[in-house]
Chains A and B, each alone.
Chain A
Amino acid sequence: MIIQALAFYAFAFVAIAAGVMVVASRNPVHSVLFLILAFFNASGLFVLIGAEFIAMILIVVYVGAVAVLFLFVVMMLDINFVELRQGFMDYLPVGALIGFILLAELAFVVGAWVVSDDASLVKAASAPVAAEISNTRALGMILYTRYVYLFQAAGVILLIAMIGAIVLTLRSREGVKRQRIADQVARNREETVEIVKVQSGEGV
């Protein structure tokens, strides 16, 4: 058990340190890389509590897809680092307020988990299956039965968000030449090649 405890403290410490560095590092590219490190350690923590499916999905989705796009955008930005640092004190109260709200909400969640009257019910509802079932299957069994409507609703919201993003950025430009593979494949000799008998000295 001591190894698990050591691993927990290592993951937790590095996750928090990386989180601090995301905010504190001067170079935005370094910030994104520290964010990735934080994701990694969070996923390590998931593995430690036996939620290996969520751990892997966290890496595939956040590190493999979301953070790549972050990195893409941040690298392409032309940033003046000195300018970026200015106004730090102006934004500090807003940032502190948001941080406080998040902390308070987290406290409510933990409170409901530990001290509320239905605490035992909440715990029971979230851990319905025996330990011998792999947690991928356990997740599937609860997600597609008890929470199927919420799951579908989340899917629909994501779909709408995706369509919205496409609609917002889509603009049709005039005069853009596009390749039409089907047309190219459908071409035949008769409509593209013409054999002309040319009299010498006269041209076509």
Chain B
Amino acid sequence: MNMFLNDYVLPTAIIVAQILAIVVPLLVSVAYLTYFERKVIASMQLRKGPNVVGPFGLLQPLADGAKLFVKETILPAGSNKLLFIMAPMLIFVLSLIAWAVIPFGDGLVLADINVGLLYFFAISSLGVYGVIMAGWASNSKYAFLGALRSAAQMVSYEVSIGFVVITVVLCAGSLNLSDIVEAQRTVWFAIPLLPMFVIFFISALAETNRAPFDLPEGESELVAGYFVEYSSMTFALFFLGEYANMILMSAMTVVLFMGGWLPIFDIAPFNWIPGPIWFFAKISFVLFCFLWVRATFPRYRYDQLMRLGWKVFLPLSLLWVAVTAGVLVSFGWLPNQVAG
């Protein structure tokens, strides 16, 4: 009995505690990201933003959550009920489980697996199913069109993200995210791989369906796109999933290009600050850029969006993979070289 306790119960309890330690702060961040977004965009548009609920409007996200919670859940009569309910759950779950491999600091990672980057890539490529299922199960034209747009868009930009990730892996010599961060001790990959950094950031915008690539939700043409039929908590799950995905893509940008938990310069005042705080500061900066882009640029036209993905980013990132590999091999800079 005691052995059973030590072998099974205790490890399970520890893992559950670790998961909660990631998920609870994440959900709080998601709530306050919506507040942050409204405040930032309000400032850029010379408005005040939410300022009524609580001091400086700080309780606004909670009020929004409570409002969504008490609303009625509506299941459209012609919908495919099971898939209709599964879709938002799928999106929400996928936006949470990818966090298992994100390193918050030196050794601060839930699952330090060898193929962390591939795991992230696999999970992010599944997000499209939630969208397609939602659009199809709603049995509504707007929702279906939104879902088709979104699927095409996510699949297109996934390809260039894949090539960008390959260049990073070439430079780091590992698929493990902690190793990739450690490989950036001398210089962040954002500097030698600057074009890839820009492509990754723009592709992340497209991948999370954010402005200026928010065609799937285009409210002026498709009402709200794939989640037009959703209400109450099912809608809230889409919303939480979308914002959690934004934070996730920012975290990946930080891990792949901005040195993860490493300080900007490894000298006295900077390396006093602990790693996780650097990590969160960098994520906040990237998130601010997400919001900044939203407040600045008009929406793309759909054919231009596809052209950008397939005809600009894909050849460019493919070329850069070849160039990176060539440079690494010819200068003998390949990391983790296998002898012989």
Spell out A's residues near B (CB within 8 Å). 3, 29, 33, 36, 52-53, 56-57, 59-60, 63-65, 68, 71-72, 75, 134-137, 141, 179, 181
A29 to B69, CA, bound (A): 31
A53 to B132, CA, bound (A): 27
Of the A-B pairs whose beta carbons lie under 8 Å apart in the complex, a sample of 21, sorted by A's number, is: A29-B136, A36-B129, A52-B115, A53-B114, A53-B115, A56-B118, A59-B125, A59-B126, A60-B121, A60-B122, A64-B122, A64-B158, A68-B129, A68-B132, A72-B151, A135-B114, A136-B115, A137-B338, A141-B338, A179-B303, A181-B307
Nearest-Cβ distance from residue B279 to partner chain A, whole angstroms: 24
Residues of chain A within 8 A of B304, CB atoms compared: 179
Scan B93-128; emit 1 where CB is below 8 A from any A CB, else 0: 000000000000000000001110011011001101
Nearest neighbor of A3 in chain B, beta-carbon distance: B8
- Which residues of B286-340 have CB atoms within 8 Å of chain A's CB atoms? 303-304, 307, 338
Task: Please classify the interface of chain A as helix (H, G, I), strand (E, B), loop, or mixed, using the class held by over half of its residues.
Answer: helix
Nearest neighbor of B132 in chain A, beta-carbon distance: A71
Residues of chain A within 8 A of B194, CB atoms compared: none
Indicate if the CB atoms of B136 and A56 lie closer than 8 Å: no
Spell out B's residues near A (CB within 8 Å). 8, 83, 113-115, 118-119, 121-122, 125-126, 128-129, 132-133, 136, 144, 148, 151, 155, 158, 175, 303-304, 307, 338
Indicate if the CB atoms of B125 and A134 lie closer than 8 Å: no
Residues of chain B within 8 A of A53, CB atoms compared: 114-115, 118, 175
A66 to B171, CA, bound (A): 29
Nearest-Cβ distance from residue A50 to partner chain B, whole angstroms: 10
Indicate if the CB atoms of B136 and A60 lie closer than 8 Å: no
Give 19 new A-B contacts, CB below 8 A, not counting A60-B118, A64-B128.
A29-B136, A33-B83, A53-B114, A53-B115, A56-B118, A60-B122, A63-B122, A63-B126, A64-B121, A64-B158, A65-B125, A65-B158, A68-B132, A68-B151, A72-B132, A75-B132, A75-B144, A134-B114, A141-B338
Q: A59 and B175 in contact (CB under 8 A), knowing A53-B115, A68-B128?
A: no
The 5 closest A-B pairs by CB, nearest first: A64-B125, A56-B118, A59-B122, A134-B114, A60-B122
Nearest-Cβ distance from residue A101 to partner chain B, whole angstroms: 32
Nearest-Cβ distance from residue A98 to partner chain B, whole angstroms: 29
Among A29, A52, A64, A137, the residue within 8 A (CB) of B126 is A64
